[in-house]
Amino acid sequence: MSNPEQPRDPGEQAGATAGAGGEGGAPAERLTVSQIFIGLFFFPHVVLLLLQEQRCRRALGLVLCSCLVCGMLLGVARIPKFLGLSTDWARWLSSEVSVLWVEDGALRWERPADSPRTTRYRNWRIDFAEKDTPFEPEELAVGTSRGIWIAPHNVHAWWRRTQDRVVTASLVRDMKVGGLYELDELWPDDYRLQGQAFEEQARTFVIQAIPFILLHAGLSVTGPVLLYAAVFSLVPVLFPRRGGRGRFTSALTFHLYASIPPLIVGAIYASLGLPSLDFTTVFVCAFMAYLLFVMIRMRRASEA
């Protein structure tokens, strides 16, 4: 083994420090972020044992930063898809209503003139309803799983989450966008949306929503990572081995660091836009495989 004071790589530094700490009781040497990342991919059985005795706060901070970066990359990868979908829907809406405008505190459209009318697009049920028509998503969900309900003062999206539950989201409620902002104040006076303006407005909306897309992607990545790291950390506490009950903070630090490689794998897979598996499924599978790999390497190292 090389000199512990001048290791040639992160694996050697981790091994030398772990050995010094285990034999002489000296405190573990602090690894840099680059050494941690290299060690997690190439020397996980050494680096994780070294890092689990360090502060959990540093592990949490590094995981949160990794989730933020991976979430932003995932959000950036989704923007072209959102642009394509929004443009496609805008093109369809333009052909369906021809002209859209706001008049006398209500949404108006040129077609269909004979409301109520029901049509379908991309497996969505689209209902154009008359004024004061009650919104009843349970009845609309019979025979279909999702749809949009459009009335002069309200626009609602709905989808069936379970067999007995229909979830709704108000895009416009009582002429308030999202139930918060008056549509009359946001809509320019005497402005009529028609032709290419539908697609231009859709692209502008997606571009303005990029910060929210990145934030949503970051949160969607962070939640599963912290949840499963905490769940796996409870195992040595609730089901201790013969050597005694493990400390939760050490186990949490261990699993927080161990979640970083599966996080990167899951983010890369999700950014490809493949329809089969989502981020959480890929992350959990990669996390379990990574922990199994680390356990095997640790056992081999202890038997050597």
Q: Which pLDDT belongs to residue 179?
A: 78
| Cα–Cα distance for residue pair 4/158, rounded to 1 Å | 62
Q: What is the pTM of this model?
A: 0.74
Q: Which pLDDT belongs to residue 245?
A: 55
Phi and psi (nearest 5°) for 293?
A: -60, -45
Who wins on pLDDT, 259 or 132? Answer: 259
* pLDDT tens profile 61-79: 999 999 999 999 999 999 9
Answer yes or no: is pLDDT of 243 > 60. Answer: no
Helix (H, G, I), strand (E, B) or coil at 110: coil
* pLDDT tens profile 71-118: 999 999 999 999 999 999 999 999 999 999 998 889 999 887 777 889
* pLDDT tens profile 187-236: 888 889 998 999 999 999 999 999 999 999 999 999 999 999 999 998 87
List, in order, residues 6 or more apart from 245 with CB less than 8 Å away: 236, 237
Q: Which pLDDT belongs to residue 27?
A: 42
| Cα–Cα distance for residue pair 155/167, rounded to 1 Å | 14
Answer yes or no: is pLDDT of 172 > 50. Answer: yes
Six token digits for residue 295: 């356990």
* Residue reference for tokens 């002209």: 99
